[in-house]
Amino acid sequence: MKKILKSREFLVLALLVAMILAVSTVNAAVLRPLTLINIVNSSLFLVLIAIGQMFVVMTRGIDVSVGAIAGLSAVIFGMALNAGIPLPLAMVCALLTGLVCGSVNAAGIVFVGIPPIIMTLGTLGAYRGLMRVLTGGSWIESIPQSIKTLAVTRYMSVPLMVWAVAALIIVLAILLSRIKAVRNFYAVGDNREGAYLLGINVRATEFTAYALAGLFSGAAAIVFTGQIGFVPMQTGSGQELKAIAAVVLGGVSLMGGTGTIWSAVIGALFLTTVDSMMIFLKVPGSWNNAVAGAVLLAIVVFDYLIRRAVRNRQLAMRAAEMHHAEQDHDTRLQPREAVR
C-alpha cells in the first residue's frame, strides 16, 4: 500500500484529481459525471497508443511512428469497411496492419541494428506517405453505420468503447502481472547485456515490444474511426509525441526497465484532461500545447529533483556511517597505543 502511494503513477493521479477539483471551483460543470465520462471517452485513442508505446519504452526503445501506424490502420480499416467487408473482419484487417507495420520497425531495429529513433522516424514518413498514396490524399468518408453505432452505444450512460477498453486494460494488467515472460521487458530495458547473459531472448523481447506498439496503434485506429465516423489524412498526426509524453508523464523512464500499464493509462488520461480543463477555464484552445509541454517538463524535472534528493540523502547516510566507523576505529586504536 505504501508502495502504491509513493509511486509516480499515484502522484500523477493525485495531480489529476487536484486539477479537476481546482477547476471545479471556477466552473462546477467539470464535476458532472457526463463531463468526466466524455473526457475518458475522448482519451481512448491516446490511451491505446500509449499502452503500445509503453512496451517499447520499457525495453529502452522509442517508437515515433505509432501515430502514423494508427493513421495507416485507420485508412485500411475504412477502405475495408467501404469494400463491404464485415465489421469483425475489417477490425482484424486494421489490427493486422498495425502488427505488420510494427514488425517492420522491429525488423529494422532488431535484425539490422538501426537506432530506434532513426528507424521509426523513417517509417513515420513512409507510413504517412503510404496513407496518402492509398487514398490519393482524400478523406475516407461514407463509412458504414455499423461502426458508428458501436461508438454511440452506451451502457449505464458509459460508451461501449470505454467499457471495452477498460476491460482490455484490466485483463492486460492481470496478464502482465501473471505472465513470467513479461519480466523480460523489464530485464532487457534495465540491462540488455545482463538479460542476454541470463539467457533471455533479447531479440524476441524487443521484436515483441515494437510489434505490440503496432498492434495497439491498430486498435486505436478502430476506436478513432468509430468515434469520428470518417478518416481524415491527419489521423494520428502528432499523436506519437503525445504518446511518448503520456508514458513518460506516467513514470516510464526512457532509460528503460520501469513502468506499468497504469503509467500509460494515467499519463494519457492526464494529457487529455489538461486539454478539456482549458475549455472549462475558457482559455483559448491555442494554449493547449503550451500547457501540455509545460506540465511534461515540470513533471520530469520535479522527478529528477526528487531522485537527486533521495540519492543525496542515501550518500549522506553512507558518509555518516563511514565517519562513525572511522571514529570507532580511532578510539579502539588509542588504548592500544597507550598500552604500548
Partner 1 sequence: MKAAAVFKSWEFMLAVVLVLELLVLGMINPAFLNIENLLFSTSDFAHVIIAAIGLTLIIMTGGIDISGVSIMGLASIVLGLAFIAGVPIGFAVIIALGVGIAAGAFNGAVVANTDVNPLIVTLATLFLYAGIATGLPTLLDMLGFQAYGAGGFEAYQYEGITGLPKAFTWIGSGRIGWVPMPLVVALLLAAVATWVMLFTRFGRYLKLIGVSPAVAHFTGVPIKRTLVTVYAMNGFAVAIAGLVLTAYLGSARSDLGSEALLSIITAVVLGGSSIYGGQGSVIGTLLAGFVLGFMRQGLLALGISSDVVPVIIGLLLVGSVALRIGLAKLSTARANRAAFAAEQMAVEGNGGRS
Q: Is 126 in the site for partner 1 (CB under 8 A)?
A: yes
Site string for partner 1, 33-62 (x = CB under 8 A): -----------------------------x
Is residue 39 within 8 A of residue 171, CB to CB? The reply is: no
Q: Which stretch binds partner 1 (CB under 8 A): 69-77, 80-88, 193-201, 248-256?
A: 248-256
Q: Cα(59)–Cα(276) distance, rounded to whole angstroms?
A: 32
Q: Select 226 or 259, whichever has its Cβ closest to partner 1.
A: 259
CA distances from 141 to 29, 68, 136, 157, 229 (A): 34, 19, 13, 27, 8
Site string for partner 1, 137-176 (x = CB under 8 A): x---------------------------------------
Q: Select 170 or 255, whichever has its Cβ closest to partner 1.
A: 255
On the 0-12 / 13-18 / 19+ scale of CB atoms within 10 A, 135 is middle
Phi, psi of 254 (to 5 degrees): -70, -15
Tell me which DSSP letter residue 27 carries.
-
Using CB under 8 A, which of 121, 158, 164, 228 touches partner 1? 121
Can you spell out the DSSP letters for 52-99?
A: HHHHHHHTT---TTHHHHHHHHHHHHHHHHHTT--HHHHHHHHHHHHH
Q: Which stretch binds partner 1 (CB under 8 A): 39-47, 166-174, 183-191, 284-292?
A: 284-292
Q: Is 232 in the site for partner 1 (CB under 8 A)?
A: no
Q: Is 129 in the site for partner 1 (CB under 8 A)?
A: yes
Q: Cα(45)–Cα(219) distance, rounded to whole angstroms?
A: 8
Q: Is 193 in the site for partner 1 (CB under 8 A)?
A: no
Kindly calculate the radius of gyration of the chain based on its CA atoms and give it in whole angstroms. 24
Q: Select 100 or 158, whichever has its Cβ closest to partner 1.
A: 100
Q: Is 130 in the site for partner 1 (CB under 8 A)?
A: yes
Q: Is 248 in the site for partner 1 (CB under 8 A)?
A: yes
The dihedral sign for the CA sequence 37, 286, 64, 68: positive
Q: Cα(187)–Cα(225) distance, rounded to whole angstroms?
A: 36
Q: Which residues sit at the interface with partner 1, rule CB under 8 A?
A: 62, 108, 112-115, 117-119, 121-126, 128-130, 132-133, 137, 241, 244-245, 248, 254-255, 284, 286-294, 296-297, 300-301, 304
